[in-house]
Amino acid sequence: MPVDSAAREILAWYDANARAMPWRRAPGANVPVDPYRVWLSEVMLQQTTVAMATPYFEKFTGMWPTVEALASAEDAAVMSAWAGLGYYARARNLLACARAVAERGGFPGSEAELLTLPGVGPYTAAAVASIAFDEAAPVVDGNVERVMSRLFAVETPLPAGKRELRAHAAALTPTMRPGDYAQAVMDLGATICTPKKPRCGACPWQGRCAAFAAGNPERYPLKAPRAARPTRYGTAWWIEAEGHVLLVRRPPKGLLGGMVALPASEFALERVEGGAPVEAAWSRVPEPVRHAFTHFDLVLDVAAVRLPRRPDVEGEWHPIATIDAAGLPTLFRRAADAAMTPCLL
């Protein structure tokens, strides 16, 4: 039957071309994989490149080798370890999920049960079920959507086309080696069936690809136009005293939720003056920090002051010498760098 032959073709390609990753077993190797490591890697890989996630995976598995160890960690330690990786709701859900799994005595073994865990959606549930538990669950990520859209020349633009693409992916998913198959399609999308300039000459599915036959693979997947990103403005305050700097913990939900940060204004559509935590003779960094979030660009003014004593204000005073270990997300890490430029204070 054609479905199984398609799976055999890409599995043969995968056996010869699989990328090596710390959480991945060799293709075809009949050895169990640790569901904890599979789950951890999949959460880190949500909207995140393999290159970015890999050092964080090594750090997390080094600090917390088991899901029980992670479940016992302090919230602040996990948030700090995640700093820089982005989408910080993932870190909060990661800890909630680890605690739920430890409480119930281990990871559930089915896609349906995995789907009930915090931070585990359709993609991650299917990925863990297929890779760790050998369940033939359809794994659909951005790579799979692109591959399917080209294979079947799907004309429905994303995101409306997701259902159709998922149906194609499900129909192709084999019962044999479903985990390797899922990773094979994702590797294909990452290395051959790329968004631009796909290397169709090296593709095991070239002979069955409708977009290749039509000569326009790069046309797929079709996408609905997205809204333009507005620019927002804000101010971060660097308050230095006795070799320490004032840091705050941001509220648990929302932008950079739960992360350590410099005190900062709201990020508004127009520049707003004032609102500093203390009244002082502020120096303004010459160039604001420009930072691109998913749905807006931020222009962040950085104001700095050095005081003789620590004022009584909300927050925690952190030694400036160890600011690298404070767990600041990238935006505030860059704001701190700007404030520490020589001769500002």
Catalytic positions, written as ranges: 42
- Do 135 and 117 meet the contact criterion of CB atoms below 8 Å apart? no
Tokens, residue 298: 């931020």
Alpha-carbon separation of residue 30 from 18, 34, 153 (angstroms): 15, 13, 35
Local structure of 326: helix, strand or coil: helix
User: Rounded distance, CA 183 to CA 231, Å?
Assistant: 38
Q: Map the footprint of DNA across residues 1-20, applying CB under 7 A.
A: 19
Q: Which residue has the tokens 């890989």?
A: 45
Residues of this chain, 199-258, that bind DNA according to CB under 7 A: 223-224, 226-227, 253-257
CA 328 to CA 333: how far, in whole Å? Answer: 5
* 331 makes contact with DNA (CB under 7 A): yes
Least distance from DNA to the Cβ atom of residue 343, Å: 25
The site string for DNA over 131-150 (x = CB under 7 A, - otherwise) reads ----------xxx--x----
Q: What are phi and psi of 60, to 5 degrees?
A: -65, -45
262 neighbors 248 (Cβ within 8 angstroms)? yes
Q: Within its chain, how far is the Cα of 115 from the centroid?
A: 18
Say if residues 137 and 181 touch (Cβ distance below 8 Å): no
Residue 309 in the binding site for DNA (CB under 7 A): no
Q: Which member of 70, 120, 129, 136 binds DNA (CB under 7 A)?
A: 120
* Residue 127 sits in the site that holds DNA (CB under 7 A): yes
Whole-angstrom distance, CA of residue 280 vs CA of residue 122: 51
Residue 294 as a binder of DNA (CB under 7 A): the answer is yes
Total residues at interface with DNA (CB under 7 A): 60
Give every CB contact of residue 294 below 8 A, 6+ residues apart in sequence.
Answer: none
The residue written with tokens 């094979």 in the block is 184
- Of these, 8, 33, 46, 200, which contacts DNA (CB under 7 A)? 46
- 190 contacts DNA (rule: CB under 7 A): yes
Among the candidate windows 54-62, 65-73, 183-191, 301-309, which touches DNA by CB under 7 A?
A: 183-191
Q: Among 2, 5, 20, 49, which residue interacts with DNA (rule: CB under 7 A)?
A: 49
Stretch 73-112: interaction string toward DNA, x if CB under 7 A: -----------xxxxxx---x-------------------
Strand, helix or coil for residue 339: helix
Binding flag, residue 197, DNA (CB under 7 A): yes
Q: Looking at 121, 252, 275, 311, which residue binds DNA (CB under 7 A)?
A: 121
Q: Which of 7, 11, 13, 42 binds DNA (CB under 7 A)?
A: 42
| Sites of contact with DNA (CB under 7 A) | 19, 21, 24, 41-42, 45-52, 84-89, 93, 118-125, 127, 141-143, 146, 159-160, 183, 186-187, 189-190, 195-197, 223-224, 226-227, 253-257, 291-295, 329-331
